[in-house]
Structure 1
Amino acid sequence: MNSAPKVTIYTTPYCPYCHAAKALLKRKGVAYDEIDVQDHTRRQQMMLRASGRRTVPQIFIGDRHVGGSDDIHELDRRGELDTLLQPA
């Protein structure tokens, strides 16, 4: 049995874009691992290495970096997000 890909989102507590991205995932019933990068230099470095970006949120579906809030909402608008979230 294949399972859905792991979703990881790098966030900070007061980021409205982080809240919007998490709300979209919640509406879709998607579980995700949230990594708070506020005041955690090591985690910020991990995020930068993983995505090449310093802004939040940064969202990964499996090993694929899908970008930030605007990117995940655009994937959803185009109908591509559900495909990415399907079990392999």
Structure 2
Amino acid sequence: MNYYRQLHFEDRNENLLYADVSRVRDIHPNYGVNTVPAFLTFQLGEHTNTYKGCNNVDFFKNIIEGNFIKANRPAGDEVQKSVTVYTTPGCSWCTRLKSYLRKNGIYYSEVNVAADQSVAEELVRRTGQQGVPQTDIGGEWIVGFDQKRIDQLLNIK
């Protein structure tokens, strides 16, 4: 939480509040927080977004100051299929896959199968495979880093 204290905004009417989730327990169900750290943003009292994971001070400043790029989707463009990448720590192919998705502007969620044995078992049940990475793209499963298949499913040119 120390990096939250480093945030300072000149001439801004912003409130930055933080909670120690080991002591404040009602945030989780009210805002769907199931991992920490989580950074929640609000506008006019309404919850607008949740950012998950460890990030540096500049990341948070850019969010609060609105210094980020919003892509405009051309008319008629399809909405991106949901993408979930199943990984383990230290997996070089997992890192390569995530880097490839980021490079191509693909939003994805990541699930660390090493952290939860039941998730690993469910993955084997669905695909018949134990290795990672495994990727669910709109209900289609890819085992390994199959760039050609990823490109096809996500219309990456």
**TM-score if structure 2 supplies the norm length?**
0.46
Per the TM alignment, residue 66 of structure 1 is displaced from its structure 2 partner at its CA by 2.0
Q: Which residue of 2 aligns with 1:38?
A: 114
Cα offset, 1:52, TM superposition: 1.3
Alignment partner of 1:6 out of 82, 97, 100: 82
Query: Superposed, which structure 2 residues align to 1:5-84 within 5 Å?
Result: 5-69=81-145, 71=146, 73=147, 75=148, 81-84=150-153
State the shift of 1:50 in Å.
1.9
Shift of 1:81: 3.5
Give the Cα separation in 2 of the matches to 1:40 and 1:30. Answer: 25
Q: Shift in Å at residue 43 of structure 1?
A: 0.7
Over the residues paired in the alignment, what is the CA RMSD in angstroms? 1.7
The residue number in structure 2 matching 1:85 is 154
Tell me how far apart the structure 1 counterparts of residues 134 and 150 of structure 2 sit (CA, whole Å).
15
User: d(CA) in 1 for partners of 2:142 and 2:150?
Assistant: 10
Moved over 6 A (4+): none
Q: How far apart are the structure 2 equivalents of 1:62 and 1:45?
A: 20
Deviation, 1:33, is 1.1
Q: Please identify which structure carries the higher helix content.
A: 1
Tell me, which stretches of 5 or more residues in structure 2 are unaligned? 1-75
**Unaligned segments of structure 1, at least 5 residues:** none
Deviation at 1:40, TM superposition (A): 1.4
Tell me the percent identity: 33
Return the structure number with greater relative CO, CA threshold 8 A, min gap 6.
1
Task: Check the 8 A contact 1:57/1:68 in 2, yes or no.
Answer: yes
The aligned amino acid for 1:85 is L
Deviation at 1:82, TM superposition (A): 3.7
Structure number, greater radius of gyration? 2
Shift of 1:63: 0.5
Would you say how many aligned residue pairs link Structure 1 and Structure 2?
79
Tell me if structure 1 keeps the 8 A contact 2:86–2:111.
Answer: yes
